[in-house]
Amino acid sequence: MSEQLIEVVDNRGVLRLTINRPQALNALNSAVIETLEQILVELEGRDDLRAVLITGAGEKSFVAGADISEMQDKTPAEAREFAGKALRTIKRLETLPVPVVALVNGFCLGGGCELALACDWAVASDNAIFGQPEVLLGVIPGFGGTQRLPRRVGPAMALDLCTTGRKLEAQEALRIGLVNQVMSQSELQDYADTLSKQLSGNGPQAVRSAKQAIHDGMDQDLDSALALETGLFALCFAGGEQREGMTAFVEKRKPDF
């Protein structure tokens, strides 16, 4: 394939993935989904992985949705297979043991919004547009939107968005908790660079443990989740990372993780 559908840049274990179909507003088709899954399978086995940042090529679109031209003639069985493949791929992204951050640099609609929802958090440029407009096409979100969106913004807002198909500007997405921050396009790139430095400089096992504690704990009762936290906290003292971090603090130097 002459076109590199997803560009991968590795900076000290912080990977930046750029979905590269700007001519189609970075819409998700089967080839992009398959390429993303292949990349994620490889990442699952990397002990040196620190974080994953995902964005779209250009300044117009993060991901404008699934590729409608590819979907319009599918049978129910083919639609189920297509959605199942996308769900599996997005789940791989969601369950990576390191922070996964969406850098939303424009349209973030349909499958693009569902991709961002599978990330641990999202930040957006001020021109970003969000939405789950599938009902306007006679379908519903099929890549996890009906389940992840209410968990992020609450069921009432999720029903609003999924049944009206209305779109949100970046500031409203910030207000409802869909994104953590809104900034200009240039600031978004600066944010990505700063975040990469922060995450690559922190204790890698501690970062993984923090994600595990929060993600796994959300599905447990409070007492069980607190016990999980205590166990993971204790495990931090089992290796050299904690000793290096605390020794560096006492010695007033930067730790070497």
How would residue 3 be classed by pLDDT, with cut points 50, 70 and 90? low
Q: Which contiguous run of DSSP H or E holds residue 167?
A: strand 167-169
pLDDT tens for 221-253 read 999 999 999 999 999 999 899 999 999 999 999
Phi/psi region, residue 154 (left: phi>0; alpha: psi -120 to 50; beta: rest), is: left
Mean pLDDT of 4-29: 96
DSSP state of 218: T
At 194, give phi and psi (nearest 5°). Answer: -65, -45
In the predicted model, what is the mean pLDDT of the chain? 96
Domain 203-250 in the same topology as domain 6-199: no
CB 206 within 8 Å of CB 50:
no
pLDDT in tens, 36-60: 999 999 999 899 999 999 999 999 9
Residues 6+ apart with CB under 8 A from 71: 79, 82
**% helix, strand, coil for the chain, step of 5:** 55, 20, 30
Which position has the token pair 């409070």?
222
Q: Where are the domains of the chain?
A: 6-199, 203-250
Task: Report the catalytic residues.
Answer: 114, 134
> What pLDDT digit, counting tens, does each position of 62-120 carry?
999 999 999 999 999 999 999 999 999 999 999 999 999 999 999 999 999 999 999 99
Q: How is domain 6-199 classified at the architecture level of CATH?
A: Alpha-Beta Complex (3.90)
Instruction: For residue 17, give both structure tokens.
Output: 């993935």
**Interval 127-151 mean pLDDT:** 98
Contacts for 202 with CB less than 8 Å, ≥ 6 apart: 257
End-to-end Cα separation, the chain, in angstroms: 38
- Phi, then psi, of 122 in degrees rounded to 5: -130, 145
CA nearest 103: which of 198, 167, 41, 187? 187
pLDDT band at residue 2, thresholds of 50, 70 and 90? very low
Question: What number of H helices and E strands is found in the chain?
Answer: 11, 10
Q: What is the pLDDT of residue 239?
A: 87
Tokens 């501690």: give the residue.
206
List C-alpha distances in Å: 12 to 41, 85, 197: 19, 30, 9
Q: Is the pLDDT at 1 greater than 50, yes or no?
A: no
The pTM for the full model equals 0.94
For the chain, the residue count is 257
The fold for domain 203-250 equals Lyase 2-enoyl-coa Hydratase; Chain  A, domain 2 (1.10.12)
